[in-house]
Amino acid sequence: MSKTILLLTYGTRGDVEPYLALALGLQKAGFRPVLATSERFQSWIATFGIEVYPLTDAVLALIETNAGKALIEGTQRRWTRLKSGFELTRKSGPLNGQLVRDCGQAAQDIQPDLIVFHPKAFAAPHIAAHLDIPVAMGVFQPVFVPTAEFPLMGMEFLPKTLNRFSYKASTAAYRMFRKPVNELRKGFGLPAIYQGRHVLFPPERATYRLLHAISPALMPRPADWPAQAEMTGFWQMPETKIPLPPQVEAFIGAGEKPVFIGFGSMVSSNPQALGQMITDALAQTNLRAVVAKGWARLEVGDEKRILSIDPIPYDGLFPHMAAVVHHGGLGTTITGLRAGVPSIIVPFFGDQPFWGRRIAALGLGPEPLPRNALTSGALASAMMRATTDQRMQDATRAMAASLQSEHGVETAIKRLAALI
């Protein structure tokens, strides 16, 4: 009988799609993967023939509230953002409790041999301890393993001597989740935890394998990482064979290569204003563009040089673009780089500024343009540079060749197979 592997992930599509890629690889390798995530993704995942276990959507739905939009986009006044943060924290408490219970129920129903989890599904190591099975974290940012080489994301202001120390903040932030975790542990007959670090690394599972689905070509593995912290390469979905929609193909073929503009799962409190900024930037450059509406529901000018689209697979679209403008989520970043085109990163929050700086440092795109300070002039200038800088274009083609030789899913499967 094939071994069952429970994949617990939560968040936006950028948090789910790499786990779907891993699930497809595990299935091909003879395992039985079950992907547990927000119920909003259930029908989409099922189209790939992967078994899905739906989790509550309530926590994820918070980012679509006015408070969530204000916090993520960062364009509101500081007091408004602080107020939004307090409101989300207040509302998320009981909702995270439901998410923890859903994760526990998923494991109870599925009885897995191994759990692989996203850090937002932080109940996983406690469930693994209760079931006495191995656990591994699959993570897309270098935030939990201290290194002297660079500080925790967002703490670049610290002196380099505090680089390793800065990582204490990443696990300390999990203190707010102790209550739902302790309720779960009580039901398991496990003692309560008190430290933030123990939410992710409880005493019963103090160390386990951390698989970083990051390309070493984009960020080399720190030399001082311990052995259990590995870098597999990105977990890329199999290339889609779905042809582009006829209207997209017709638009691409009607003139010079367009640029792509889209912010994926990022939301906006004022999509009309953001869309107008994009329209104005394009008018300053005379560039053509394919604009993805995304979760922000962007509204752009109805002009011959702009095509507005609903979601389509980026791996089939990006190779036809002159450059790609996006929020800097790792999945979209990797897809753009694999297509061999420059990236213009407009980071909203989280790890996105980090990847934007890495893109610029490697000469794969201009300096990032933070969403909360974005202007049409800055966007126009960045798009002109990305579409005319020959050195930048050569660098992205070289990076594409390097990424094509990586096999992140296969590497991860080898590491996971060794655990069971």
Query: What are 127-180's pLDDT values in tens digits?
Result: 999 999 999 999 999 999 999 999 998 888 999 999 999 999 998 888 889 999
Determine what percent of the chain falls in helix, strand and coil, rounding each to the nearest 5: 50, 10, 40
Residue 75, pLDDT score: 47
Give dist(CA 172, CA 146) in Å, integer. 13
Check whether residue 332 and residue 208 sit in a common domain. Answer: no
pLDDT at 40 over 50: yes
Q: Is 222 part of a structural domain of the chain?
A: no
Q: Are residues 13 and 151 in the same domain?
A: yes
322 and 203 in a single domain? The answer is: no
Same domain, 139 and 269: no
Residues 185 and 267 in one domain: no
Residues 147 and 8 in one domain: yes
Q: What is the overall mean pLDDT for the chain?
A: 89
Burial 26-40 (b: 16+ CB within 10 A, else e): bbeeebbbbbbbbee
Using the 3D structure, point to which of 196, 212, 228 is the last residue of a domain.
212
Distances (CA, A) of 209 to 18, 166, 232, 384: 17, 21, 12, 43
In a domain, 220, yes or no: no
| 221 is a domain residue | no
* Model confidence, pTM: 0.86
| CA 251 from centre of chain | 29
Say what the pLDDT of residue 211 is. Answer: 98
pLDDT of residue 93: 55
CA-CA distance, 381 to 391, in Å (whole number)? 17
Q: Are 158 and 278 members of one domain?
A: no
Q: Are residues 66 and 126 in the same domain?
A: yes
CA-nearest of 285, 270, 277 to 376 is 277
What share of the chain in percent tops pLDDT 90? 70
Question: 232: how many CB neighbours lie within 10 A of its CB?
Answer: 24
What is the maximum alpha-carbon separation in the chain?
A: 66
Residue 300 in contact with residue 273, Cβ under 8 Å? no
**Residue 224 within a domain:** no
pLDDT band at residue 378 under the 50/70/90 scheme: very high
Higher pLDDT, 288 or 1: 288
Mean pLDDT, residues 81-103: 64
CATH code, domain with 270: 3.40.50.2000
335 lies in a domain?
A: yes
Q: How many domains does the chain have?
A: 2
205 and 251 together in one domain: no
Q: What is the span of the domain harbouring residue 129? A: 4-212
Confidence of residue 67 (pLDDT cuts 50, 70, 90): very low
The answer to whether 12 touches 30, Cβ cutoff 8 Å, is no
User: Are 257 and 177 contained in the same domain?
Assistant: no
**Residues 256, 184: one domain?**
no
| Mean pLDDT, rounded, for 402-409 | 92
Q: What is the CA radius of gyration of the chain?
A: 21
- Note whether residue 231 is domain-resident: no
In the predicted model, is pLDDT for residue 417 greater than 60?
A: yes
Domain edge (last residue) among 191, 212, 233: 212
Task: Please check whether residue 42 lies inside any domain of the structure.
Answer: yes
H or E element at residue 211:
strand 209-212
Residues 6+ apart with CB under 8 A from 332: 14, 264, 314, 324, 326
Rounded to whole angstroms, the Cα distance separating 36 from 51 reads 9
201 with 254, same domain?
no
Residue 232 within a domain: no
